[in-house]
Structure 1
């Protein structure tokens, strides 16, 4: 009952001094709103990065062959030759050894960028030779026909999977009519002919960013890896490729194991070269940690205004106690204990901070949503951040209200009644 009376007294005091109460709350409002907005934007950016990395493949491991770390790069180093590179036989051996943990190996080779033309119609195309692992990693959404099959890969057939944007430009958007058709793509004054076996839905995250848009956009044309190697005159040796780990596998641990495997088995006696790996999962963890650290650092800076607001609450409570000295003396003369006087003024400080906190939360949510919208992300304020800010405002009320409340509780009732 006493707590309810104290709350009503606090609300009556705020109502009697509206402007002073608002100015006291302003620091709390600004601090809470800033923290909520920053945490909302930080969470949205974090979720966007996590989603993008997930599209790339959080279980992926990037492997590349390069110079040894202990070399003196100021001296002339020999160029990498075919005999130094990773062969398909090495990859097959690796797949056998880690068959329980590796789902596939993603290989690709670029034939080149070109253009398909038919009268006034045209489509810009990038021809990519892709193996089954690469297409598995891409997760193409086939809207007509089929993806490249195992026999296409083994026999090096001249078949292709094209984008719906290509179909829009060259086949009036009719994907079914494109199936089985021969397409000619000119790359560096040379024509390459393929039979269309499938049409996939274009996605910027899968095809990569294109400098042009609309009709001029460049999309990928996927052909079997063996066909791409033959047409690009590339050697069947590699300096880098992507390993797709199975679900549940520890990609970070597997990444280290594979690097050690290659270096111990194939490059132990190499004077200049070594294999290095890094997992996308490790990169994702580092990015997430970095974003979280930046978010907390900026939120802490914004939280300085909370400290200013808390000092303002303490100041106004001291002023309020000075103004109500006779009231305090009267209450103590009528039997009010030091504890009840202390509770009254602590409650008043908590009420000021709580109201300011709730207003700050609403403004912070609104500011965060607006900022996220203009940045092109999606996200809302988390329940955790809202709960934290509300609890923090209550703690601030208790912390900064305790000293003035204790000061009021220790007043001598006789001196208080004499106060003018």
Structure 2
């Protein structure tokens, strides 16, 4: 019975190809809009999540901040005393923290910004951001070494003047391949003082790691990062080993949310309980990523819902054309009823026709939406696709639209008086 109705519906649609296409157009545009938005949204989600993931999905950030007391003034007008040495996180605190949570913590990433430097030799120049890092922090930068190695424990502890630069620096300053750059000197002027380093490693520069900040700049003007041992940076900056923030790398499998709260409570209870102004605050990067992912998904669904409004126009078009079709086929309906067709059979026939129209339109809409979505994503520099669940939902939704908007015309056809229908001209 259903198969016969589908054949009748297809025959009726093929008999009026242009009208059928125009009827489907609203459904095609509506579904295509939703699929294209979902595809672009997926691409943007992957891009944002990838960038946040590169920042360290297992990282827990620990900050020293003003205490949040009951009488805390959120306006920011209240006077807060400057931080003293005892307010900062010290090496002893960090070592204690690492030891206390050794079963859940892989290491603590420490870094100190030395400054932005322009290296010049004759007409050659290169812009670098010089940063002191410990071994854990260097590992967290996820730099891909193309020549040389990272810092040894002795180079860290003995504050040796060694440096890791980018292949872009080597290209600008040395005109050589990365391997040949090893052992070459780097002379930098920082605060009117000359510092000499020896290149021990060269990493591959990635524009994605620069966060788009160097977009539009020439290859020579792009600023790249260069890394020196943390203790070397401390000596050059003449700073004590004190920190107002750090990154804790959790072990795989550890619950970052619970670990961050445990570390925060441990530090505040043991070291900051008697502090009158400052305390520590810890939060998990993974929790932030989850929150951001949820926000981006909500945004994508909201835009998709707005795009789905155009489906209403398509649905109304289906209803309108079905009413016209019933009017044109009044005598056919009368003949079928005279031959014994029940109201249910007539109703099912026209609902099936509406569903077929919407189903075909939905499938075409998915195809068109995928094409436009992928092209738009590529133009934006991303790569994405609509989820299988989203595609199935859109197809089922279009079929539901066919039932919803096809029911009224189908019910009207089913209630026609066979005698009046046969007399209809």
TM-score by length of 1: 0.95
SS in 2 for 1:215: coil
Shift of the 415–347 alpha-carbon distance from structure 1 to 2, 3 Å rule, reads: same
Task: Provide structure 1 residue ranges, at least 5 long, that are not aligned to the other structure.
Answer: none
Cα distance in structure 1, aligned partners of 2:128 and 2:237: 15
Which residue number in structure 2 is paired with residue 189 of structure 1? 192
Which residue number in structure 1 is paired with residue 26 of structure 2? 27
Which residue number in structure 1 is paired with residue 249 of structure 2? 244
Which residue, 227, 236, 261 being the options, matches 1:231? 236
Which residue number in structure 1 is paired with residue 36 of structure 2? 37
Tell whether the 8 Å contact from 1:168 to 1:174 is kept in structure 2 after alignment: yes
Which residue number in structure 1 is paired with residue 314 of structure 2? 309
Cα distance in structure 2, aligned partners of 1:43 and 1:409: 45
Which residue number in structure 1 is paired with residue 123 of structure 2? 120
Deviation of the 1:366 alpha carbon: 1.9
* Matches for 1:6-25 after TM superposition, within 5 Å: 6-25=5-24
SS in 1 for 2:220: helix
Which residue number in structure 2 is paired with residue 372 of structure 1? 377
Tell whether the 8 Å contact from 2:38 to 2:385 is kept in structure 1 after alignment: no
Which residue number in structure 1 is paired with residue 418 of structure 2? 413
Which residue, 288, 291, 315 being the options, matches 1:283? 288
Which residue number in structure 2 is paired with residue 85 of structure 1? 88
Which residue number in structure 1 is paired with residue 349 of structure 2? 344
Cα distance in structure 2, aligned partners of 1:39 and 1:205: 23
Deviation of the 1:205 alpha carbon: 4.1
Tell whether the 8 Å contact from 1:25 to 1:353 is kept in structure 2 after alignment: yes
Which residue number in structure 2 is paired with residue 384 of structure 1? 389
Tell whether the 8 Å contact from 1:164 to 1:173 is kept in structure 2 after alignment: no
SS in 2 for 1:140: coil
Of residues 361-370 and 295-304 in structure 1, the stretch that sits farther from structure 2 once superposed is: 361-370
Tell whether the 8 Å contact from 1:138 to 1:206 is kept in structure 2 after alignment: no
Of residues 3-12 and 395-404 in structure 1, the stretch that sits farther from structure 2 once superposed is: 3-12
Deviation of the 1:308 alpha carbon: 2.2
Cα distance in structure 1, aligned partners of 2:117 and 2:16: 74
Which residue number in structure 2 is paired with residue 155 of structure 1? 158
Aligned residues: 419
Of residues 6-15 and 250-259 in structure 1, the stretch that sits farther from structure 2 once superposed is: 6-15
TM-score by length of 2: 0.94
Which residue number in structure 1 is paired with residue 262 of structure 2? 257
Which residue number in structure 1 is paired with residue 112 of structure 2? 109
Tell whether the 8 Å contact from 1:207 to 1:220 is kept in structure 2 after alignment: no
SS in 1 for 2:306: helix
Which residue number in structure 2 is paired with residue 61 of structure 1? 60
Which residue number in structure 1 is paired with residue 46 of structure 2? 47
Which residue number in structure 2 is paired with residue 213 of structure 1? 218
Tell whether the 8 Å contact from 1:115 to 1:187 is kept in structure 2 after alignment: no
Of residues 7-16 and 87-96 in structure 1, the stretch that sits farther from structure 2 once superposed is: 7-16
Tell whether the 8 Å contact from 1:147 to 1:198 is kept in structure 2 after alignment: yes
Tell whether the 8 Å contact from 1:105 to 1:242 is kept in structure 2 after alignment: yes
Cα distance in structure 1, aligned partners of 2:117 and 2:345: 84
Task: Provide structure 2 residue ranges, at least 5 long, that are not aligned to the other structure.
Answer: none
